[in-house]
Structure 1
Amino acid sequence: MPIVPDDPAHGGAQDDDRGAARLSGPLFRDEPQGFTHGQTGPTHDPAPYSTQSATPYPAQSATPYPSQSPTHSPTQNPEPMSHAPQPAPAPQKKSAGRDLSAAIGVGVGLGVLIIASLFIVKAVFVGVVAVAVVVGLWELTSRLQERKGIKAPLVPLAVGGAAMVVAGYVRGAEGAWVAMALTALAVLVWRMTEPPEGYLRDVTAGVFAAFYVPFLATFVAMMLTADDGSWRVLTFLLLTVVSDTGAYAVGWRFGKHKLAPRISPGKTREGLLGAVLFAMVAGALCMQFLIDGGSWWQGLLLGLAVAASATLGDLGESMIKRDLGIKDMGSLLPGHGGIMDRLDSLLPTAPVVWLLMVVFVGSA
């Protein structure tokens, strides 16, 4: 019986990605041409296959090759066995993983919208925050339903979330807490209109979504009520963006030691140090020159706190996305993902900045 070749004709490293296919079943195995699954021999004349080698050769003939002696074995002929040298793989360049031109363009556009509304009409900025909250809730509840089958009721969350932001701006912390309680109650009642199966799961997710997105966002609206509220909100936004930028720039250039590989493999300890350094410098400048009664040393503490909360917020949403098995919460913002992918650092940072501003310079 002729020996069946061990490897397909193309073989080598270029077929490494076929390994999984081979293991998945016989229909996906790479077999030599002329063989079918279940056969023990070739379906054609076996003469072209040498019994001395697994490599196919022309059949033996009475006339030897011109360069051979009559006793020369085909297996000793170097020409059929020669292989072209494989080129060395090209070195891989570091990639940001996103379309940077689109990301920068979208970021600049959002920045212009936010700053214009922040310093022209404060109420318009509150409306921008409310819209961002509603879109973020829509993204979060949609992903929960798609990936986990969790049906957190969107209507009471969207209405209650927008009302929460407005209440925080008009009535302060007391108004925000009352709106939060009413939103949770509305979620409980709204879900009663559907079958009881999964009720506890759905309302738990709904209350979590109400706290995670709109309630944390109300601290931005509460910052805005101070006399220098626009500058406080601008400081909050600048420090969060600078922290993220410092983490990205330093981590991409110098990052070697993973920060939390099971949650976010791209984050490094060097990146965290970059976030702290950048945010502390920016905090000192902002508190010294933008905030009434602020001091540079307060800015150092504020920057340190922002770097910590922004990093934890980013890791927290990464944990949610890993549990859901997704990369981004949405695709609304080219180069960024969804609204929630931009709010991940901002939301947990808002109460931290609001509290430290009250402690350092008061709430008025």
Structure 2
Amino acid sequence: MKIISKYLKLLPVFIMVLGLTACSDDDDNNGPGVQTTTVVDVAVANGFDALAAALVRADLVTTLEGPGPFTVFAPTDDAFQDLLDTDPTWNSVNDIPLDLLTNVLLNHVIIGDNIASSELINLGSGYATTGATGPSNTNLSLYFNVDGGTVELNGGFDTSAGADVTTADVEATNGVVHVINKVLLPPTVVDMAIANDDFSSLVASLLEADGSTADPMYVATLSGTGPFTVFAPNNAAFQALLDSNMMWNSPADIDDALLNAVLAHHVVVGNNVQSGDLTPNGTTSPTTLQGQTIDITLPGTNGNIADVVDGAGNDAGIIAVDVQTSNGVIHVVNAVLLPAS
């Protein structure tokens, strides 16, 4: 299973697995009497007209009729209609720019793996790699978590942003289909931060910093073209920062100038630096948006994937890597990085 990071604690929840009726057809290549039902057959048989039309237009039918295996998160016709309604020039999937449509469709496919809903439920949350691509032709990440018995994709604490699995485990001979209620657009670094509850303090800090200036920068900037490399502190890292000053109970209590400098010290602009791009058995020192450098050393120590020294000389660690988005990559750090004063 191509899960690249299991990040939140497991949740003891279950999903009701429903079945869809799928048709099968004879495949002469498999010999007489052998029945095959590909993931494409499942979509066609169960009335996913918009998805089927989109696959034809993007020339992905032959690919998804191949041996796979594939895990396909299939949006309903209503989900595609909601997407079309976001642009007045889109009356059908034929009106969506072909490059965008193709990448959107591939963002719903995990290639080379047949992932049952039980696997997602047992993990509770984590990241998987899709067929869609981002900067430097890197494959995009998909975040999943389980909430109240429902598998959510790229949703997190902003449930309107993601999709829910409404019907799971529709088996095909070359994979499995899970039905979802929303089309998953390739996420930005902001989208992916919002998706993961363990970045809620980071998101709150970005919003607080934006609200403190007449010219908000962070959310708009990090939703732009990029590419960006973001070193994202988890909630525990932010709590440790707040605990370091008895006057700080939330990001709103941190001085505006300091908060802005701290956040900018976590962002590298103009480069999509994946873990494989770092100097092996050595140190990489990128310049941050704040203007100072940080030192990243491989291999890490004390359980870290890599060790980090911030501008102020403090130690931190990278604990999860390569959460790839359409405009940059996120690496998770276990401490808030502070610039030199």
* Structure number with higher strand proportion: 2
TM-score (norm. length: structure 1): 0.23
User: TM-score, structure 2 length as denominator?
Assistant: 0.24
Query: Counting helix residues as a fraction of each chain, which structure ranks higher?
Result: 1
Larger radius of gyration: 1
